[in-house]
Amino acid sequence: MMVKTIFSGFGGQGVLMMGYALAHGAMSAGYHVTFLPAYGAEVRGGTANCTVAVSDDEIASPIASKPDNIVVLNAPSLLTFQNRLAPGGALFLNSSIIAVEPSRHDVRIFKIPSSELAEKLGNPRTANTVMMGAFLKITGLVPPDIFLSSMETVMGSKKKSVIEINHKAFAAGYEFLKIAE
């Protein structure tokens, strides 16, 4: 098994954190894993992205030319990455701020109003964690409890309240798709 996922959004939306936490969770779950951030000349307010590869075997290339999943938090990211997604792959999009419709019809599309759900919980900055709840619900890449403990680890010595709100955000994303199905 080899699953590659691209996470993309505005700088500041926590895109790299999503990938980092997933990679850490996959490592804790015993998988081989690579995390590759886009680096170099970027503009302030521009997009950030990263690629996470999870496999039960050694990973040759950390680059995903045909990712199995893409997770996009803003419209420019959707336009940049939707055509790379493998046929039959999963596309997760933040429907709160992405007004455009995806152009692909050969992929599974999951629209999650992650910014709205996060706002309802009282912390709009947790939209990325909401998205991770939905992402792991569908992909099952890493068990939720392992992911949550990894998230705590990579967030470092954050306040207890921050950890709590992220747990709630994750649950909101996880539950959202359960209801929708």
Partner 1 sequence: MNKVLMQGNKIIGEAAIRAGCRFYAGYPITPQNEIPEYMSERLRQEEGGVFIQSESEVAAIHMVIGASAAGARAMTSSSSPGISLKQEGISSMAACELPAVIINMMRGGPGLGNISAAQGDYFQATKGGGHGDYRIIVLGPDSAQELADLTMEAFDLADRYRTPVMILADGMMGQMMEPVIFKTPKPRDYPESFIMKGAGAGKSKIIRGLILDPLDMEEHNWTLDRKYQVIAQNETRHELYKADDAELILVAYGTGARIAKGAIKRLRDLGLRAGLFRPITLWPFPTNELRDLAKKIENFLVFEMSTGKMVEDVRLAIQGRARIGFHGRPGGVVPTPVELANVVMRKYDRKEGIIDHY
* Residue 37 to residue 40: CA distance in whole angstroms: 10
Contact residue for partner 1 among 20, 147, 174, 176 (CB under 8 A): 20
Report if residue 35 touches partner 1, rule: CB under 8 A: yes
Q: Of the ranges 4-12, 27-35, 96-104, 170-178, which one interacts with partner 1 (CB under 8 A)?
A: 27-35
Could you tell me the smallest distance in angstroms from the CB atom of residue 62 to partner 1?
5
CA angle 158, 8, 69 (to 5 degrees): 105
Report if residue 43 touches partner 1, rule: CB under 8 A: no
Q: Which of residues 45-74 bind partner 1 (CB under 8 A)?
A: 57-63, 65
Of the candidates 94, 110, 92, the residue with the CA atom closest to the CA atom of residue 181: 110
Measured from the Cβ of residue 42, the count of other Cβ atoms closer than 10 Å reads 12
Contact residue for partner 1 among 3, 18, 23, 48 (CB under 8 A): 23
Q: Is 154 within 8 Å of 166 (Cβ atoms)?
A: no
Contact residue for partner 1 among 24, 111, 137, 168 (CB under 8 A): 24
The residues that touch partner 1, with contacts defined as CB under 8 A, are 20, 23-24, 27, 32-37, 39-41, 57-63, 65
